[in-house]
Amino acid sequence: MSDLPPVTSALRPTSRPRLGIKFLLAHPAHFIALGCGSGLSPIAPGTVGTLWAWLVFTLLQNALTTQGFALLVAASLAVGWWACSVTARHMLLADPGNIVWDEVVAFWLVLWLIAPVGFWGQFAAFVLFRFFDAVKPGPVGWADRQFKGFGWRGSFGILFDDLVAAFCTLLVIALWRTL
């Protein structure tokens, strides 16, 4: 038995849906999981989603306190878990590359924990995070293989490997700072 409510007939595709503005706006979960549209990029949606996350962080960094960012990341993880689950099911793919909320939240976590740093520190974090997320070396690859499928378990898997990529990014930055 599925742990998700049934897909309404208006959203139940007979084949994989065509991604575009209509799909993005068809359900609030789509808008969130597709990173407010950044996941619609035909080229490197994960990178575009991470760049979108960086832009939003830059806009919010002076407006939110440390506790505000903690709340934002925690709420984004919870809402993202739901949004990724619904959107993956509607897309008929267990871990669609166009779902970029996992990159958004994981990169917000990285930027929040390394703050305060300037542009070049954030850029280094971006490059490291994209390396770990795209190449999936060691623990990131392991995390990517652990939770597959649809439903809450599968959407946790969508988020989990990016959180491990964020951890690896933070570990490299921490080691770099100790040198």
Per-residue pLDDT of the chain (179 residues; tens, 9 = 90+): 344 445 544 444 456 678 899 999 999 999 999 999 999 999 999 999 999 999 999 999 999 999 999 999 999 999 999 999 999 999 998 889 999 999 999 999 999 999 999 999 999 999 999 999 999 999 999 998 888 777 777 788 899 999 999 999 999 999 999 98
The pTM (predicted TM-score) of the whole model is 0.88
Any residues with CB less than 8 A from the CB of 157 and at least 6 apart, and which? 94, 95, 144, 146, 147, 148, 149
118 phi and psi angles, rounded to 5 deg: -85, -170
Helix axes 101-114, 66-91, angle to 10 degrees: 160
